[in-house]
Amino acid sequence: DAKTTQPPSMDCAEGRAANLPCNHSTISGNEYVYWYRQIHSQGPQYIIHGLKNNETNEMASLIITEDRKSSTLILPHATLRDTAVYYCIGAKTSYDKVIFGPGTSLSVIP
Amino acid sequence: GAVVSQHPSRVICKSGTSVKIECRSLDFQATTMFWYRQFPKQSLMLMATSNEGSKATYEQGVEKDKFLINHASLTLSTLTVTSAHPEDSSFYICSARDVSSGNTIYFGEGSWLTVV
């Protein structure tokens, strides 16, 4: 799995867009970028994933740079319930194990 | 999204006893499941990869005789903590890979184990 680097913490005002960056400069061509989040004392929740095209779903948008060395998860209108630790992970779609880094602790502030 | 269920969500056991945690994929078949543990304010640490019909693959430093993993069917994996000690108290989380949805991995709700 590609090593990913994320800022340890971020703040975002409620109602504003939260932009969470992730560096994955060693990602290989067949590795996807996955984003998960973990709200306190719960199991991680899948958010979105992508290979090289930008992706959007009901939860978030994922913007991947053309060289695939970094990506940004965008929560368009952050709410207090989006306060969580967000994990960016590079993983193949084979039976690879998934390794978590420390993630980014996002605090949405009223 | 797909659902992965863990049971029990909380368990308290006495030192020296064994406790079993179940992980079920409710609406998909999972040939591969993963077990993690998480201590307070830390990230998830992968313990082992559970493969249906074969032996689990343990991460370095994880005692396979202490953390018994069984993946007897395509929808069920179990983790048994044997001869539990207070230092085994932790949040245990399983996940399962859904090959029908682009190999996305879904996580269970987690199980809090307290050994007294």
Q: Chain A: nearest CA to B103, how far in angstroms?
A: 6
A103 vs B contacts (CB less than 8 Å): 43
Section A1-11 average pLDDT: 89
Q: Give tens-digit pLDDT for A77-97.
A: 999 999 999 999 988 765 577
Task: For residue B115, give Cα distances in angstroms to B12, B13, B40.
Answer: 6, 5, 15
Buried residues in A40-64 as b, exposed as e (16+ CB within 10 A): eeebbebbbbbeeeebeeebbbbbb
Decide: B13 and B111 in contact? Cβ < 8 Å: no
Confidence of residue A29 (pLDDT cuts 50, 70, 90): confident
Residue of B42, B107, B111 best to disrupt the A interface, most CBs of A under 10 A: B107
Query: Which member of A43, A95, A103 has the closest CB to residue B108?
Result: A43
Section B72-100 average pLDDT: 94
- A46, B34: Cβ pair inside 8 Å? no
B9 vs A contacts (CB less than 8 Å): none
